[in-house]
Each structure stands twice: as structure tokens, then as C-alpha cells.
């Protein structure tokens, strides 16, 4: 056989062996199976994946040897999500509490400042209410003078009296709201103080 022909056969053989070596063998293939439970309670093993309606129930991923390589847990229930959200909110609140206050005395000082501020607001509102009542009394006295004289009370005077009554009602509601805010603040600061002591282990 000529030398050139032998060389061509040798090269073709080498290339053929390289091509075969490059092909993935069955042993190297990564086939995955999905194991889940259907609506009838039956365990299903599939290569097609998990149907959408069953994903939230959780499933397992197996290799072609039957070994579990990944577990996808069930989605948390509404109660579980609610509990986790509450725990997260509590942890955030605790972290903020520790960041704001170093000791119970800090809570007490903050409480005293807040209550003093609310007391000042209530005092101003009560003063405004007293002023409105005085104005109303003066206008009503004028209206009474017209009535005693047998004259009709002017319309603008009646409108002023009605406006003062409406303003008083509004201020009274504000005072009630401020007082409730003060009560809520006392409860809130007491809770913060107790929680701070608990977190600090005192």
C-alpha cells in the first residue's frame, strides 16, 4: 500500500476515534426525574416536570440512578405566612427598640417628653375652647338684648353664634382625641419599657 494511502487511513481512524470520544455516554447524561403527589394522592414520577397545580405542594428531583438530588418543600400555608410575617415584624421592632433606647430610663425620659407635649397641646385647645365659649356668651347676650327690646335678632348675629358652636364642637373632639392619644402613648411606652427589659435580660 502506498505510503500516502497509509497516512490517510491513519488520519481518518484518529479523527473517527476523537469524534466517538466527544459523544456523551449514557452514563454521563444527566437525566432528572420529578416525583410529586397528584390530586388523587398517588406518587408520580415524571421526566416532564411538575404540573403547575402541584408545584405548591412540593416535590423531589431524582437523578437517573433514583437518588434524590434536590427537595423543593411545599409552599407555606396562609397561617404559616402570617406567622412568619409577624415574627419578622417583631424582630424589626425589637431591633429598632434596641437602636433607640439603651436602658429603661431612656424610655421613661422619652415618655415624659411626649406626655408633656400632649399636655401642652391639650392645654392650648382647652384655652381656645374657653375663648370660644366666652365669645358665644357675649353674642348670645347681644341677641337677648334684641329680644328684650322686641326686635328681631340680626341674621349675621345668629350665624356667628352657630359658627362658634360648630367651632366648639370641633375643638372638643380634638381635645378628646388628644386625651386618647395620651392614653395610647402611656400604654405604648410601658410596653416598650417592658420589652426592652426583656431583651436586655434585666
All structural domains of the chain with their residue ranges: 31-75, 102-200
Would you say 139 and 82 are in contact if contact means Cβ atoms under 8 Å apart? no
Output the DSSP codes for 135-169.
HHHHHHHHHHHHHHTT-PPPHHHHHHHHHHHHHHH
The C-alpha atoms of residue 28 and residue 22 are separated, in whole angstroms, by 12
pLDDT tens by residue, 88-145: 999 999 999 999 999 999 999 999 999 999 999 999 999 999 999 999 999 999 999 9
The C-alpha atoms of residue 59 and residue 71 are separated, in whole angstroms, by 6
Please choose, from the candidates 149, 150, 170, 146, the residue with its C-alpha nearest in 3D space to the C-alpha of residue 158: 146
Is 76's pLDDT higher than 70?
yes
pLDDT tens by residue, 19-52: 333 334 444 447 899 999 999 999 999 999 999 9
Would you say 175 and 125 are in contact if contact means Cβ atoms under 8 Å apart? yes
Task: Select the more confidently predicted residue: 152 or 7.
Answer: 152
Which letter, b or e, does each residue of 8-42 get, where b requires 16 or more Cβ atoms within 10 Å of its Cβ? eeeeeeeeeeeeeeeeeeeeeeeeebbbbeeeeee
Amino acid at each position: 500500500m502506498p505510503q500516502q494511502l497509509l497516512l490517510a487511513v491513519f488520519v481518518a481512524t484518529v479523527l473517527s476515534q476523537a469524534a466517538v470520544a466527544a459523544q456523551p455516554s449514557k452514563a454521563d447524561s444527566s437525566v432528572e426525574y420529578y416525583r410529586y403527589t397528584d390530586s388523587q394522592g398517588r406518587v408520580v414520577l415524571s421526566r416532564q416536570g411538575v404540573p403547575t397545580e402541584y408545584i405548591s405542594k412540593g416535590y423531589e428531583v431524582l437523578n437517573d440512578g433514583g437518588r434524590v438530588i434536590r427537595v423543593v418543600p411545599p409552599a407555606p400555608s396562609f397561617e404559616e405566612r402570617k406567622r412568619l410575617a409577624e415574627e419578622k415584624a417583631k424582630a424589626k421592632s425589637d431591633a429598632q427598640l434596641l437602636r433607640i433606647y439603651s436602658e429603661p430610663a431612656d424610655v421613661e425620659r422619652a415618655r415624659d417628653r411626649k406626655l408633656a407635649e400632649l399636655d401642652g397641646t391639650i392645654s392650648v385647645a382647652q384655652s381656645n375652647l374657653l375663648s370660644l365659649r366666652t365669645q358665644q356668651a357675649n353674642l348670645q347676650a347681644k341677641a337677648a338684648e334684641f329680644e328684650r327690646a322686641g326686635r328681631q335678632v340680626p341674621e349675621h348675629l345668629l350665624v356667628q353664634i352657630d359658627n362658634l358652636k360648630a367651632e366648639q364642637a370641633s375643638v372638643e373632639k380634638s381635645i378628646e382625641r388628644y386625651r386618647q392619644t395620651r392614653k395610647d402613648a402611656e400604654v405604648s411606652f410601658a410596653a416598650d419599657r417592658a420589652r426592652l427589659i426583656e431583651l436586655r435580660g434585666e
